[in-house]
């Protein structure tokens, strides 16, 4: 009996693979929800101070977004659409990362600054806080620069994640 169950499962997997549509084009609406999920992952990684130093993990969001398009819509996704989906996830992630950093900067910057000045001088504390993503001097100019940097970096790395997914699928 176990062999019969195994054969049935194998046949169902083959049938599902045969049902995958050959239409490789992914519309904007088909990539929106997966890109939103991948963008939230990128946004959390890029927005939480300290985690933003792990920028090499940002492509995970683009990879997940492209894989969700394939799994959810059961489409063979080509490299161009995977890159677009990953880039869109990065764009969404960059926006959310900027909002998270703004919230951390507004509510926690003063407390973190006070804590670290007990152990270091002021210049080292400002350098450490800027490196970790909490802006000790919240200004409109600094937030614009950080917003644009987040958008560009997250979009690029999300696109890389989508391309990695497409390359892995070709194997």
Other CB atoms within 10 A of residue 53 CB: 12
Beta strands in the chain (DSSP E): none
In the chain, the N- to C-terminal Cα span, in Å, equals: 34
Provide the residue ranges of all domains of the chain, joining segments of one domain with +: 28-102+139-170
Q: Are 65 and 39 in contact (CB under 8 A)?
A: yes
Instruction: Give dist(CA 67, CA 56) in Å, integer.
Output: 19
Q: What is the mean pLDDT of the chain?
A: 84
Beta bridge partners of 75: 21
Categorize the per-residue pLDDT at 168 as very low, low, confident or very high, splitting at 50, 70 and 90.
very high
Give the CB-side neighbour count of residue 91, counting CA atoms within 13 A.
10
Note the pLDDT tens digit of each residue in 26-46: 777 888 899 999 999 999 999
Q: What is the pLDDT of residue 144?
A: 87
Q: How far is the C-alpha of 88 from the C-alpha of 103, rounded, in Å?
A: 23
Task: Please give the average per-residue pLDDT across 118-129, as a whole number.
Answer: 86
- DSSP-derived letter for residue 55 is G
Q: Give residue 24's pLDDT band: very low, low, confident or very high (50, 70, 90).
A: low
| pLDDT, tens digit, 9 for 90 and up, residues 74-98 | 777 888 889 999 999 999 999 999 9
Query: How far is Cα 36 from Cα 92, in angstroms, rounded to an integer?
Result: 7
Averaged pLDDT, 123-128: 85
The whole-angstrom separation of Cα 105 and Cα 100 is 9
| DSSP class of 51 | G
Instruction: Identify whether the C-beta of residue 62 lies closer than 8 Å to the C-beta of residue 51.
Output: no
């Amino acid at each position: 009996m176990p062999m019969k169950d195994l054969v049935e499962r194998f046949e169902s997997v083959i049938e599902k693979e045969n049902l995958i549509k050959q239409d490789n084009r992914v519309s904007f609406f088909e990539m929106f929800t997966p890109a939103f999920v991948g963008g939230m992952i990128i946004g959390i990684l890029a927005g939480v101070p300290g985690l933003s130093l792990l920028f090499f993990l940002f492509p995970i969001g683009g990879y997940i977004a492209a894989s969700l398009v394939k799994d959810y819509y059961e489409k063979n996704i080509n490299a161009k659409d995977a890159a677009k989906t990953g880039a869109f996830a990065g764009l969404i992630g960059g926006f959310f990362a900027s909002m998270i950093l703004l919230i951390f900067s507004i509510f926690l910057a003063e407390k973190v600054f006070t804590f670290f000045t007990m152990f270091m001088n002021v210049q080292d504390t400002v350098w450490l806080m800027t490196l970790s993503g909490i802006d000790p001097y919240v200004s409109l100019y600094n937030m614009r620069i950080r917003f644009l940097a987040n958008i560009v970096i997250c979009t690029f790395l999300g696109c890389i994640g989508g391309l990695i997914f497409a390359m892995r699928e070709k194997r």
